[in-house]
Amino acid sequence: MTRLFTSTVGKKFVMAVTGAALFLFVVGHMVGNLQFFLGAEALNRYGHFLQSNVELLWTARIGLLVMVALHVWSASALARANRAARPVQYANWKPNSASYASRTMVMSGLIIMAFIIFHLLHYTVKVPAVNLTGKDFNTMTETLTGDSTRHDIYEMMVLGFSQPLVSGFYILAVGLLCLHLSHGVSAMFQSLGLKNHNYGPYLDRAAKLIAIVLFLGYIAIPVAVLLTKCGGCCP
């Protein structure tokens, strides 16, 4: 069983399973985010619901961190071995039908990781220095009936995404994430041995379609924020 962590095929299993878990999170996160369009009440209630159960929240967070760690570990171990396997490069090289996404998984992965760190600092830890608005997202709360307050996520998102630089990085990173997934979502079936000529072509197409849907779903919010903001100044 140690072969799971020592052999190339075993590490691919680790990468595929953790990738699948992270993919499911990405889908769930998008669906949750889209409640933005239902208005402040729905979004803030949802955010409050997620944050109020500390035990579950941290279980999910630690679970996700473990998945990321294993995904990154397997990727870097394999990438190192893959690089070592061809010490002398070709002078004349053609990709021979390898797709752009499949050739750039490491690069897209690294940029996505940088983005995730930024994203966590931005909206989860809410470090004021990285949001470029000069305001502290921690202080954005709304008061409910009685004395209880809850975090005003809606306000935070509008303000956060109205920064064009932040939104730009977000859109770029989501684009790369979807490029990553357009290959990864079907490749993980291949790595786990769950692909053949019957449904393999459908998996390939589904992966690309899912990537596009995710891309549109994710960029909808920053685009909407930027457009409304812009609508205020230009006719």
Partner 1 sequence: MKITLKVWRQKNANSPGWFKTYQSPALNENMSFLEMLDVVNEELANRGEEPIAFDHDCREGICGTCSCVINGKPHGPHKGIATCQTYMRSFRDGDTIVVEPFRAKAFPIIKDLVVDRKAFDRIQHAGGFISVRTGSAPDANAIPVPKENADLAMDAAQCIGCGACVAACKNASAMLFVAAKVSHLGLLPQGQPERYKRVKAMVTQMDEEGFGACTVTGSCEAVCPKEISLDFIARMNRDYGVSLLKGEPKKIAGGGAA
CA dihedral 185, 187, 188, 193 (to 10 degrees): 140
Determine if 92 is a binding residue for partner 1 (CB under 8 A): yes
Residues 137-196 that bind partner 1 (CB under 8 A): 183, 186-187, 189-196
Shorter beta-carbon distance to partner 1: residue 85 or 165:
85
Interacting residue with partner 1 among 59, 99, 124, 228 (CB under 8 A): 99
CB of 71: closest distance to partner 1 in angstroms? 14
Shorter beta-carbon distance to partner 1: residue 149 or 196:
196
CB of 208: closest distance to partner 1 in angstroms? 14
- Count the neighbouring beta carbons within 10 Å of the beta carbon of residue 198: 7
Determine if 5 is a binding residue for partner 1 (CB under 8 A): no
Rounded to whole angstroms, how far apart are CA atoms 137 and 154?
11
Q: Are 46 and 32 in contact (CB under 8 A)?
A: yes
The crossing angle, in degrees rounded to 10, of helices 164-191 and 105-119 is 130
Phi, psi of 16 (to 5 degrees): -70, -45
Among the residue ranges 3-11, 61-69, 160-168, 212-220, the one whose residues contact partner 1 (CB under 8 A): 3-11
- The 105-134 contact track toward partner 1, x by CB under 8 A, reads x-----------------------------
Among the residue ranges 8-16, 36-44, 124-132, 162-170, the one whose residues contact partner 1 (CB under 8 A): 8-16
CB of 151: closest distance to partner 1 in angstroms? 41
CB of 75: closest distance to partner 1 in angstroms? 10
Please report the DSSP string for 150-201 in residue order: EE-HHHHHHHHHTSHHHHHHHHHHHHHHHHHHHHHHHHHHHHTT---TTTHH
Beta carbons within 8 Å of 182's beta carbon, 6+ residues apart? 101, 207, 208, 210, 211, 212
End-to-end CA distance of the chain: give it in Å, rounded.
65
Q: Summarize as ranges the residues that interact with partner 1 (CB under 8 A).
A: 1, 3-4, 7-13, 78, 81-99, 102-103, 105, 183, 186-187, 189-197, 200
